[in-house]
Amino acid sequence: VPRQGLLRIHEAARAVGLTPRAIRFYEQQGLLTPSARSACSYRLFDEDDVQRLRTIKGFRDDAGFSVSEIAGLLADQSATQRDKAIYLASTDVGQRRRIAVEALARLERQLALLDAKRERLTKMRTDIETRADRVRARLAELDAEVRA
């Protein structure tokens, strides 16, 4: 059991449904940086890192974005990771407000992209349903023909 609630790479991987290899790859591509390394240079992940990995996996599996697209979506979240310290330390309300506004803008961009994806899926579903209806109609005709 790792110290201080930090997870090692295969524990983090199991927690979010990724492989250690994928996580290392994402780190190499700049999607995240584990918040600590152990004495023997093991990567150690905290709860925020794990949440970030879940987001990455969601964008990959559910939304089907490429790694470079995800990098774009999380770009200022790297800023966020940096901002977290600033945010917690800052007593300047204006500073905290600015950081929150940026985080909100990023989330809303993500929402817009997900909505676009959903619409395309819905349209595709409708098309296939239409084709299915035509086949059902043809079946009904054939059945009528048999009974006649």
Restricted to residues 1-30, the positions that interact with DNA (CB under 7 A) are 2, 8-11, 19-22, 24-26, 29
* Token pair of 93 as six digits: 């309300």
Residue 3 or 147: the one with the smaller Cβ distance to DNA is 3
Q: Does 54 bind DNA (CB under 7 A)?
A: no
Helix (H) or strand (E) holding 147: helix 93-147
Q: Does 50 bind DNA (CB under 7 A)?
A: no
Residue 65 or 99: the one with the smaller Cβ distance to DNA is 65
Residue 38 or 122: the one with the smaller Cβ distance to DNA is 38
Fill in the DSSP letter of residue 45: B
Cβ neighbors of 54 (< 8 A, separation 6 or more) are 16
Nearest distance from C-beta of residue 139 to its own copies, angstroms? 5
* Token pair of 141 as six digits: 């005709």
Residue 2 or 111: the one with the smaller Cβ distance to its own copies is 111
For Cα atoms 68, 71, 77, give the angle at the middle one, nearest 5 degrees: 175
Greatest distance between any 2 Cα atoms in the chain? 84
* Token pair of 23 as six digits: 């996580």
Q: Does 19 bind its own copies (CB under 8 A)?
A: no
Residue 9 or 73: the one with the smaller Cβ distance to its own copies is 73
125 contact choice in DNA, its own copies, none (CB below 5 to 8 Å, kind-dependent): its own copies
Nearest distance from C-beta of residue 12 to DNA, angstroms? 8
How far apart CA 76 and CA 106 sit, in angstroms, is 8
Q: Does 68 bind DNA (CB under 7 A)?
A: yes
Question: Under a CB-based contact definition with an 8 Å cutoff, are residues 76 and 102 in contact?
Answer: yes
Q: Does 122 bind DNA (CB under 7 A)?
A: no
